[in-house]
Amino acid sequence: MKYIYLTLMAATLLLSGFYLIREPMTEHLEDGAAYRWLNKKVENKRLLDDMESMDNWRSFTSSGVQVVDARKVMVTPDSSSSVATIELSDKYVHSGKQALLMNTPTRLANAAPKNGRHWGRSGVRRLFNAEDWTKYNRISIWVYPDLPGFYTTALDCQLFNDGVEKLPAIFGQEGQTSLTLKNHEWNHVVWEISNVARDKITAFEMSYGLSGSYPGEAGNIRFYFDQMELEAVKADKVEGWDVEQGKISFAHTGYQNGAQKTAIANGIEAKDFKLVNADNRKVILQKAIQKTTSHLGNFDVLDFSEVNAPGNYILHAGKVSTRPFRIDADPYERTVWKAINFFYAERCGTEIPGIHGQEHEDWLCVHGDKRIVINGGWHDAGDLSQSFEATEEITYAMLSMAEKLHARNENPKLYQRVLEEAKWGLDWILKTSFGDGYRNTGSINSRRTNNIIGDDDDVITTAQNTPMANFEAASVEAYGYRIFKDIDPRYASYALQKAEADWQFAVDGLSKLKPVTDQWRGTFDSNNVEDELPSQIIFSSIALWKATGNNKYKELAIKQAPYITNAQQRERPDWDTPLTGFFYTSTAKERILHYCHRGREQAPTMALTQLCETFPNEKDWIKWYASVTLYSEYLKTIAKYTAPYNVMPASVYTDTEYESVPESRRESFRKQVLKGVPLGKGHYLRLFPVWMDYRGHFGTILPQAQALANAAHLRGDLPSAQLSINQLEWIIGRNPFSASTMYGEGYDYVPLYTPSSGDMVGGLPVGIQTKDENDAPYWPVQAMWTYKEIWGHPVTNWIWLLKDVEGPAIVDGLANGPVVFKELSTGLTTIVKPDASTKKFKASLPQGQYTVTNNGQSLSQTFLPASSYHLDLRKDKFLKYELSKTISANGELVIKVNVWGSGSHNFSIRADNLNIGAANKQVTLKQGTQFSFEWKGSVDDKKAPWVAVVIPDGDLAIKKEIRGADWEK
């Protein structure tokens, strides 16, 4: 009764628009990399400065965004022009008699930059006489921040090198790091620089971003510095595909009990491994280590997929062991809580304990004489910016997760929490519209403002009217209507009203769109508008059709599909290693679709999947289905190049694409492409994206994983689901560095670049990058934008993906007598007894390939994670069938169907790129007797694959797929 009361109370809070103020989650510091770094053995060290003299120290202030040319580095700042001052002080001292004190205001006297960024930077710089530091690989320094009223603070560090490699570099963020510090206490800061050029060091700098102050925060701040040393330690692994020596790469969060379960190592001095119960130390499994060779090299693989029993486990191999991990039906649930915590901590416009108070009440969007205060939603990165597109995606992902949780009715507490956070985003989307098609589409913000409208620290943006933004708004508003209509009808009705209006504004604006000619933006940024807009139109139109049933929405959605399907590579190219199924940016097929650090590659597949699921009887259904099939098969094919990790490669590039990028980037672009896997005819498969300043691939692999998960559910394809889970595992620890990258989750998670908000549990960075033109993972200790910058985008995709792969399969149905589920790869057997009177049964099963047996009858069934199934196993309803394909003597393709069951049934076939006669076959079955029939046909385009789907009795839930290609004969 108490739990029911609390649930109702939480719902009431949502209805009233009141949001709970809660303490953000805290990390377990001993599990993080920072704790391990501080406890490393120091093999050698050298004092650089004891801060008892100011002889080699200078203060500086730079205004605006500083861009440094490495060939013209000036290491002697003019302290006379600096608003920062330095002196020796005995107020806070770590060692010796004095420390170096820097005083600085939090902003400059002039008006803030119109671009939303901060005023500049104030800092201190220690000068060196071209010193060779190559015998050392770590800097140690003590810092005491004294920032009255501040919750969080950060300093950036920069090394200057005038040797063979110049630092600062033109781009790449090498030799820089950002430090999140605890206020009013001594922070021992260590920074490993094994990857940093340091043969001729001329300066070391620590600086603070002059970002202003929130109400209650001081306008002048102080930092104390003491005891700066060089140290030599055993350096962390920072680059390469091989697993760091002495470690096992595994999924720190754990493994779903029906999933594949592998860990990876290199150079293990043992022939076998043990899986041990972490609670009672009992050996559960002892098995040989598999020695495997792939495109990436040689690896030791520890495969323990046969173990499904829930529990906490440890892997032992020789002298190497893992930390404990979980095998369970739903080990990823805790990461959903943490991801939601991250967004809570990133909320704008309200007090978040330990991060900020009420803020940004002077953040405005202007439209003619009208203006809206646009605080709210979430800050979407390491700065304080707000992106409409990001907020829309975050809200959409949360609404989809809430819908799943509500449908499964297994976790009402998490459902309520996700729903609350989703409403926070939807509120902001509704709030920031001017009601005439113009809205806030986001703005850059690095400032802590004073909440007073009209003075010189306000951040002001101008409203825009774009079809893309309005279709995005319509999608999430219509989705919100469906989710909230039974919770808060008034709120839901308003959301639907706004959705219909925004959809119409978007449609009206389509005729005004100009063709996209800026190829560079599509190459490096996420602005593939030609490809993304049709997908977004489908999302919003389907959402509105589900909400209203108005066929104008259906018609527009279906009309967009050819813009996607006709932009796909269907014919087999004449490369040495031909690939099909990938997409171009438009139907002209002039440029292959690929993204840099922020991708939306899931959009085409998710749009076509939604069309298939929503309009199953449309004539083009099989075209949509085939497109999804070909794309997911393409992803599965290219993933073989990264075995045994199976992390998604980026894309296919051509050797002429560099001609379309800015001149300063062309040579690097060209070299990066050529470091990819040669496919022939000037095409290369890059395992990591081609990029420049903006690096990190979580925003590309997670959208690909979303596409795979959607395809898996549409097709009933377990390998696609497993491959999507592999992307989660890569991020959470099953990578060459054996490190989790979600802050506060797993082990060895690193401090991230988060100068404005501090460390937040559940945060994900932009992702693992590459060094220079290489095509191998690079994860240096330094924390710098963008690769280690917290962004809302990867956390959004994490939640969105988990909606489709987190948790067991739920199977219900009707049966006479016990139902036996036997998983084929593990032998795991589950027996469920139906209700004696209703004949109904329900089971929760791990994902896998099963034999389902009831009353002497059996059938094969694939169960995917996070899915629901209904089976009617009664004798008069039982139906089992199998498909096969052959080529007849006269060259015809023959699709054969073997059927078991009873009674009359209608089988239909839908085929893409196949010419088949009558699509329907009527059969009458006799219990216990096999019946066979076939379809014969020919391939229309012999250069392209074909796909066919067989559907019994019009029930797509029990369809089966068969596919092939003429060249496979």
**pLDDT beyond 50 at 527:** no
Q: In the predicted model, what is the mean pLDDT of residues 151-161?
A: 96
Predicted pLDDT of residue 75:
52
Q: In the predicted model, what is the mean pLDDT of residues 950-968?
A: 94
Q: For residue 242, give the nearest of 183, 276, 175, 293 by alpha carbon.
A: 293
Q: In the predicted model, what is the mean pLDDT of residues 179-187?
A: 97
Query: Cα 795–646–613 angle (5° rounding)?
Result: 60
Q: What is the largest CA-CA distance in the chain?
A: 98
889 band by pLDDT with thresholds 50, 70 and 90? confident
What DSSP designation does 703 have? H
Q: For residue 761, give the nearest of 745, 778, 777, 779 by alpha carbon.
A: 745
Predicted pLDDT of residue 173:
81
Question: Is the pTM for the entire model greater than 0.75?
Answer: yes
**pLDDT beyond 60 at 33:** yes
| Proportion of the chain above pLDDT 70, given as a percent | 94
Q: In the predicted model, what is the mean pLDDT of residues 124-145?
A: 98
Q: For residues 610 and 606, what is the distance between their CA atoms, to the nearest angstrom?
A: 6
928 band by pLDDT with thresholds 50, 70 and 90? confident
Predicted pLDDT of residue 693:
84
**pLDDT beyond 90 at 664:** no
For the chain, the residue count is 969
Lowest mean pLDDT: which of 441-445, 709-713, 730-734? 441-445
Q: In the predicted model, what is the mean pLDDT of residues 33-58?
A: 97
Q: For residue 122, give the nearest of 86, 149, 84, 87 by alpha carbon.
A: 84
Q: Which residue has the tokens 């009309």?
A: 559
Predicted pLDDT of residue 15:
40
Question: What amino acid is encoded at 653 in this protein?
Answer: Y
Q: For residues 265 and 291, what is the distance between their CA atoms, to the nearest angstrom?
A: 10
Q: For residues 170 and 69, what is the distance between their CA atoms, to the nearest angstrom?
A: 6
| Proportion of the chain above pLDDT 90, given as a percent | 88
Q: In the predicted model, what is the mean pLDDT of residues 188-217?
A: 97
Mean pLDDT (the chain) is 93
- At 864-877, the pLDDT tens digits run 999 999 999 998 88
**pLDDT beyond 70 at 69:** no
| Phi, psi (rounded to 5 degrees) for 690 | -85, 125
Domains and CATH numbers, the chain: 32-232 (2.60.120.260), 254-328 (2.60.40.10), 333-805 (1.50.10.10), 808-870 (2.60.40.1120), 878-969 (2.60.40.150)
- Using an 8 Å Cβ cutoff, are 285 and 313 in contact? no
Q: In the predicted model, what is the mean pLDDT of residues 540-569?
A: 98
19 band by pLDDT with thresholds 50, 70 and 90? confident
Query: Cα 568–570–571 angle (5° rounding)?
Result: 135
Predicted pLDDT of residue 154:
96
Predicted pLDDT of residue 521:
34
Give the torsion through C-alpha atoms of 544, 547, 548, 549, to 10 deg: 90
- At 800-815, the pLDDT tens digits run 999 999 999 999 999 9
371: left (phi over 0), alpha (psi -120 to 50) or beta: beta
- In angstroms, what CA-CA distances link 167 with 21, 68, 159, 195, 587? 44, 9, 7, 12, 44
888 band by pLDDT with thresholds 50, 70 and 90? confident
Question: What amino acid is encoded at 290 in this protein?
Answer: Q
Q: In 365-488, which ranges are continuous DSSP H helix?
A: 388-408, 412-431, 467-484
- At 468-521, the pLDDT tens digits run 999 999 999 999 999 999 999 999 999 999 999 999 999 999 988 875 443 333
Predicted pLDDT of residue 73:
45
Q: For residues 397 and 401, what is the distance between their CA atoms, to the nearest angstrom?
A: 6
Lowest mean pLDDT: which of 54-68, 250-264, 362-376? 54-68
Lowest mean pLDDT: which of 152-161, 375-384, 521-530, 819-828? 521-530
Q: Which residue has the tokens 């002196």?
A: 87
Q: Taking the CB of residue 43, how many other CB atoms lie within 10 A of it?
A: 11
| Phi, psi (rounded to 5 degrees) for 161 | -130, 135
Q: For residues 192 and 766, what is the distance between their CA atoms, to the nearest angstrom?
A: 21
Predicted pLDDT of residue 968:
84
170 band by pLDDT with thresholds 50, 70 and 90? confident
**pLDDT beyond 90 at 42:** yes
